[in-house]
Structure 1
Amino acid sequence: MILFKNYYVVILLLLFTSHCFSQDSNDYYTTYDSIVNKVNLPVYNGILYQDLDYHAKDSSHPYFNENKYAEGSVYHINQWYNDLEIKYDLLRQVLVLSPPSSIKNIGIELNQENIKAFYIGSIKFVNLSNKFDSAKEKGYYRQDKISNQIDLFTHISKTSKEFIASRNVELKFYTSYNFILKKGGQYYTLNDKDDLLTALPHKKDQIDKLYKNRSKASHKNDLEFNLFLLKSLNL
């Protein structure tokens, strides 16, 4: 994939110049220098991200958590970069970095091969593409540490469906999950109760009971249930 860092920097600075032309000159040059210095960091390297107008139904959207940039950190080519504005497009499975300015209608789509991990707020995602071949989904996985020996990895994706409303086409987005359990150095797919029993056979009685009572519990989705289940097992 060809990277367009220099091309992006030129576009960003042209947009910023147009946006700030009427500002006080001292403030302008101070901000200009700050943007140039930040954009020259290696993490600001990717292709232009097109933020599509989805005409979404019921306030649904294609992003992780919220439909806006959030404070985060990115581990890019062996170095952490903090205090970034990022968002994770779950429909296209790309991590998007906001430019270091007040111009928010463009973004940088980061090359997944260069990203080992990232945080959105306190939630960590790791790139498992090269970890093992048995993973149903490649790419970024949310990582939740259950204990010193147990980690739950969750691949989160979204799909869209079209609806016709008042002669307009609207989209609604649906979230799906795929799970991997790491126990020590072993990885297990975690799609159902049988998979969990394969990974944790010594917890069979507790697992049977938790699954039996699942309908009585209040969990919004499979991720919430799996986190509740694993933490209840006192691993």
Structure 2
Amino acid sequence: MKNLQKKSIFILIIGLLLNNHRIQSQNPKETEIYKWFDKNLGIESLDIKNGAAHLNFDKTINNENRYLVDNFRRGNIVYNNQNYYDLLLKYDIYRDDLILNPYDEANSTKINLHKENIKSFTISNEKFVNLTDLPTIFKGGFYEEIILKNETTLYIKYLKEKKKINRIESDLISYVPAYEFILFKDNKFNLINDKKNLIVLFPESKRKINDYFFVNRELRKENPSLFMKKLINYINN
């Protein structure tokens, strides 16, 4: 906690020296300051390194896995209202956990970060937010956030459902991708997992929606999240 307080004070002082009056976002200079401070303080001293070890003993079929992407990638986190940059992260979508590789080493212990402390994170330029106050009909947790025009935001929940495959030599696991699509429109969260939901929200675009579903059948099957991103943009244009 002391190191976290030192970091906050340090950034505040530097921010004043830079005459920076923006609170919600960091310019490139601020980002470099955060990265410099974390590097010189050491990741072992930071609040973000706290968490249980990440364990995975899955024996899967066809090299399937429980992750959004099965390797660590560089990303940023807002954790306990502090910004951390250029960390090695991986998202376990089966358990809805964000994993940190704190020492940038293949054999080092990986950490499941405390989910309740994560406001948002970014991996490969995709931003995920922790939605904690959703109505109970929704899954909740981490969603990819795509901000659109007209005060509309698309949220995508990535899921994987576990299925056991019984084989003579051993039991294997298969992970089947699933999704929850939410559209924040007219100050309300709306489930849009099927075409009917979309037509209710955009009755004036019924023909466009039907045409899009017909033309992009293969994309919907191969990449549902990209299908939905393109569809919402198509409707809004």
Give the match for residue 5 of structure 2: none
Equivalents in 2 of 1:60, 1:197: separation in Å? Answer: 35
Deviation at 1:116, TM superposition (A): 0.7
Give the match for residue 200 of structure 2: 198
Q: TM-score, normalised by structure 2?
A: 0.75
**Which residues of 2 match residues 65-76 of structure 1 at below 5 A?**
65=69, 67-76=70-79
Deviation at 1:194, TM superposition (A): 1.9
Query: 1:13-67, CA deviations, whole angstroms, 9 ceiling, x for partnerless residues?
Result: xxxxxxxxxxxxxxxxxxxxx69722211211222222x23122112110012x1
Count of matched residue positions in the alignment of Structure 1 and Structure 2: 199
Matched, 1:233 2:205: no
Identity of aligned residues (%): 26
Query: 1:190-210, CA deviations, whole angstroms, 9 ceiling, x for partnerless residues?
Result: 121221122222322212322
Query: 1:73-110, CA deviations, whole angstroms, 9 ceiling, x for partnerless residues?
Result: 11101122011011111111111111225253521111
Q: TM-score, normalised by structure 1?
A: 0.76
Does the 8 Å contact 1:35/1:101 carry over to 2? no
What is the DSSP-based 3-state SS (H/G/I as helix, E as strand, rest coil) of the residue aligned with 2:116? Answer: helix
Give the match for residue 40 of structure 1: 45
**Which residues of 2 match residues 179-198 of structure 1 at below 5 A?**
179-198=181-200
Give the match for residue 29 of structure 1: none
Give the match for residue 59 of structure 2: 55
Inter-CA distance 170–35: structure 2 relative to 1 (3 Å threshold) = farther
Unaligned runs of 5+ in 2: 1-38
**Which residues of 2 match residues 208-219 of structure 1 at below 5 A?**
208-215=210-217, 219=221
Does the 8 Å contact 1:98/1:104 carry over to 2? no
* More helix, by proportion: 2
What amino acid maps onto 2:81 in structure 1? Answer: N
Deviation at 1:185, TM superposition (A): 2.7
Give the match for residue 107 of structure 2: 104
Inter-CA distance 103–193: structure 2 relative to 1 (3 Å threshold) = closer
Give the match for residue 118 of structure 1: 121
What is the DSSP-based 3-state SS (H/G/I as helix, E as strand, rest coil) of the residue aligned with 1:58? Answer: helix
Matched, 1:144 2:143: no
Unaligned runs of 5+ in 1: 1-33
What is the DSSP-based 3-state SS (H/G/I as helix, E as strand, rest coil) of the residue aligned with 1:43? Answer: helix
Give the match for residue 223 of structure 2: 221
Give the match for residue 29 of structure 2: none
RMSD: 2.2
Equivalents in 1 of 2:67, 2:222: separation in Å? Answer: 18
Inter-CA distance 214–103: structure 2 relative to 1 (3 Å threshold) = closer
Give the match for residue 129 of structure 1: 132
